[in-house]
Structure 1
Amino acid sequence: PPHLPILLLTLTAFLLRAWRLDYQSYWLDEAWTVYFAGLSPREMFRYLLTTEAHPPFYHPSTIFWRQLVGASEYGMRYYSLLFGVLAVPLTYRLGRDLLTPRAGLIAAVLVAFAPYQVWHSQEARMYSLLTATAALSMWSFVNLLRKGGWRWQALYILGTVWALASHYHAVMVIGVQGLYLLLTLPRSRRYLLRWGVALLGVILLYAPWLAVSWDLLKNRANWVPQTTLGEAYLRSAVAYSLNEFVPRQQAVWLILPFLALFGLGLWAAARRRHPLPALPLLAAFSLAPILVAWLYGELRPNSVAFLERYLIPSQLGYLLTIALGIDALARGRPGQQTGRPSRRGLAAGALLLLLVLDGWTLYHHYTDPGYAKPDWRGVARTITNFQLPGDGVIVTGDGGEKLFPLYFRGPAPVYTPFNTPVPPPDEARRILADIAARHRRLWYTPYGAPIDPILQDWLARNAYPAWHRWIGRKQLALYATQADLSRREALHHPFADPPGPGLTLLQAGLPAGPVPAGDLLPLALTWQADAPLPADYRLSLRLVNPRGDIFAQSDWPPLTAVLPTTAWPAGQPVTDRRSLWIPVDTPPGEYALQVLVYHPADGHPLGSPAVIQPVAVAPATIAPPPASLDIPNFSPAPVLSARGVGLVGFAVPPRLQPGQELWLWLYWQATGPVEPLTIRLTLDDGQTALPVDLPLPEITGPTDGWQAGQVRRGVVHLPTSPRLTGQQANLNIALLNAAGQVVEQTTLTRPNLDVRARRFEPPAIARPLQASLGQPPLVRLLGYDLPETTVAPGDPLTVTLYWQAAAEMDTSYTVFVQLLNAAGQVVAQIDTPPQNGAAPTTTWLSGEILTDPYTLTLPPDLPPGDYRLITGMYHPATGQRLPVDSGGDFVFLSQVTVQ
């Protein structure tokens, strides 16, 4: 059937626009739609005539739509979806009647898959309605000129008035039509009366509204910064080809096929005959509105003129021109209706390329938060889940006071005094200080308004910044505003990157008592630069347990939040205020706080971290939903549960070398009073099994104070056997009661085993020797290869060691290789586990022989002379070296001469 393709295409457009229609939250513009839709018709029209300059159709119509379907995201956006789908067959009719049936069908395909059209069809705003009504106006305009008659005049009046009643920028449609007739004079003179009569009908119907709303409309303030003309066309090309949220560095390349076909379409419009001259209309429709809007903004800086979505009807002209370019590829030379099969294949390939680019953009639109609307729902949900008594919330962005309450649940007061009318800077600071004085903590979600930098600067200087995150395209930050800093730790810890200058952490102020999990640990850090610093360094705070496992980490704000470190005065103390948000799933107990300074460019640390201990963490006082905790392998139904506790998630390395220590994060949720339990973990390959029993409190901390619903995260360092074989092993977990009986068990996961090739026969060794390390012996050094014993400063010195395991080891020792001068000072060294970490000593089997190469880089200024090359092993946690059977704690290898 002739209409089947367009029917299938319309259905496809519907599915693309209905898919995940309510997946994204409302954003500010949509909040106004929901707000207006909740007014009565009388209130709505009073608002439109006295406060907000909007045409009279869209917002009043949403009142009745909301009464019909409710205020949900799906219901309110479905209204836009209907018009977004309607634009597809209207575009087909416009392209068919202006150009060719095939060009019309191709244009409809492009509109159906256009990510920018899908975006606005999934938004509770008027832009899909503007697109559809503009298409209706243009289609009836084309046929009014071609055929005339009262039906086309009536349809033109309907479409044009409907467009103007939806958005004031719809006047561009009339401008495009008038410009087309002007460009085609004198041929178009015979059309002027037809169009003039229809346009008179539009004016008569719209003039009453314009008369009563003109004073408000002409004084509408501009909130859109004026751009350059080139930038306006580039932004439009990106938006109308793909979507305005595609990163610019990618977009400028991805739009090239669209632009090439757009140019080909203009060429084809100039070369081929159509029912009406197509080139002037396509050029006017796609290019002129952008130019006119930009010029208007130049002439009237206080007016709202250019914005991609305001000019969205231009996308129809743009895609129609591209469709004509693809059609020209298929048709070949002017006058041909159908080109050779190769040309049709080329045209199909060009269309397929555009659809692939559309599909790539749509994939990101559906799944990538960076392409989504600002996630107000996610921001409000985060505050709802993690708020504490005494918290306050600050929201900026006009309309935020209407949008945020749609999603936020909780007792924390919400403050919006920084929206229109925006207070002056000094008044804003006074208001913010007053709000901060009322609360222990402040949540702050900036919109990016001009007032936000003022608020952020005040909070950086006067509060204790704790946490910042982009939730989708929406920011959220958390600050402590009141702090107990009665505990003072004198540190005098240097941070330096020799030979350059460094800085010293003089002291830290922090609370004297424990901090509950889920709350903030405020800190006042006092620094001093030894000399002017060469870089703006960053700071990392890390809360670690005695094994060094990180339970909390913050690298925000930068150490330079108030004053860049390059501007720190030498020899003068500088105080940095910040907080560390302790995750709510942190088990109660004692931890250490590590303070680390590093280069922002490469993360290279300046020396070793300063350590403040102990830092006591108390049980959490809130129980946020487990789904809000970013739990890996999260299961709403516990994978293992008994006696008041359930396992709801875990993290395990996907690969494991037999004998390598297996770290395992376990997430336990209290479901009631927690009874005494023991956790049994077993890694089993079918032949070797090593069970480890741990009382639950060793993983989760003391169970008293553990409220039902709360999740605690524990870490286990599980020793494994080097005798494990095969490709995988079962990691089994069981819960045992006080009598040692298994009450529940399951296989948690099956990590892959990286079983390396092993060697037990000695290879040919250039310099054999016999040295045993450890008491009793754990490792034997069988010898080494040293190709060169005479080297020059700056040269690499390569040595290969040959180890043999005398026994299986529970500790992963570190190998050191050092070059010593005559005074016994180290001039070059390397410290690493065997084979650069690929073969930890815990993975060695008794009798196994390992080839272990090292390369030392000699300093370029190393003085000539004789040096000693030594090696050995030490415990990485304590630095204690393994004793050597010949005495001492290292093995002498060889003398090395530097010339």
Structure 2
Amino acid sequence: PGIAYLGCVPAVTSVAAGDAAEITLLWRATAPIAEEHLLRIEYADAAGRWRLLHLAQPVGGRWPTRAWDPGDYVQDTHAVLVPPALPVGAYPLRYVWADGEGQPIGAPVSGCRLHVTHAGPPPPQPIARYIPAGAASPLRHRQGMTIVAPRAAPQATAEGAMPAVLTPEDGREWAPLAIETHPATGGEIVQAFYVVTPNTPPGLYRPPGEQLVRVATRSARFVVPEGMEPGGWRFGDAITLAGYRLEGAGGTSAVAGRGAPAIVAHPGETIGLSLAWRAEDWIARSYTVFTHLVGADDVPLAQHDAIPREGYATLFWAPGEVVVDYHPLTLPADLPPGDYRLLVGLYTRADGERLPVQPPDGWPTPEETPASATAAVLAVHIVNEGER
């Protein structure tokens, strides 16, 4: 899927059954990747059958594959739970990319081995481990959990199936993406793999034999809030500024099309700008919002730059989602009265490159206002103290 496997370390990982083995993989993106992929880590048992050992997002969910640019090198470390009671021995490993449902895509690649040095009896009851290692309740988007249980446990049926984890409040199900059966000393072990997606209902879940686990997914909105002015600026291919509201110390004033009334503010006041961004598709990079108050020379006189909504990076926005973002700007106390412009746009922190903009009908074009090639341009009128 546009990803080259470069290797793994260590060559042999020695671990006791029931403990976690740390495996680091090195990848290189060879082409743009449109989707978020999960990674399956599998081992070959004594009979040569490949069994699922680990299912998770790469890099602990912090760098999804659709954010990988061609040429990126990615160091990807996983803490892999070795099933309790897995027999002592050496197990070859292979790695398979999977879709969001955990189903394999592409060809597997092999490398490194797992050496189980000690195996005790199967656990007397189910045990759960969070993924990635170090995660804690609440579990968030791209994190997950694995549950292992002896086949004889009530949670593991004769067919090896394990029921979904239930929320105590209303019985909604969080179903596992995959279930695997492992050979074990004195029987077999059943393992279920869970990954938090945007569609996982938030709330409290009770894993078998465990205390309550909270899942905290963001409550996404898909409509522009009432009371905002309509927008329509298209940034790049995947982001639209769909609405906005500009507020001064004296309240909210409409900022509509060309020639419409602008907000009125005094020097030294703080004005607030609420922005409603809409994701038109998955967004492959993290962008920073800039809001700059400028004069005729486009030099910033006041500004506020930030990741949208206090750190909700554009990488994580779902198609159709509307993200409301607030930016305060404090005007200089010595700012002369007059007409100013407020520039709103998006850029990447690494290189400062701004996304190009297609303005809506009725707004300045790049031919008329060069700044509008990379920013939405709004109007602000500054008056002397005591004037309105």
Name the TM-score class by shorter chain. 0.3 to 0.5
Q: Whose strand fraction is larger, Structure 1's or Structure 2's?
A: 2
User: Normalising by the residue count of structure 1, what TM-score does the alignment of the two structures yield?
Assistant: 0.22
Relative contact order, higher structure (CA 8 A, sep 6+): 2
The structure with more radius of gyration: 1
Q: Whose helix fraction is larger, Structure 1's or Structure 2's?
A: 1
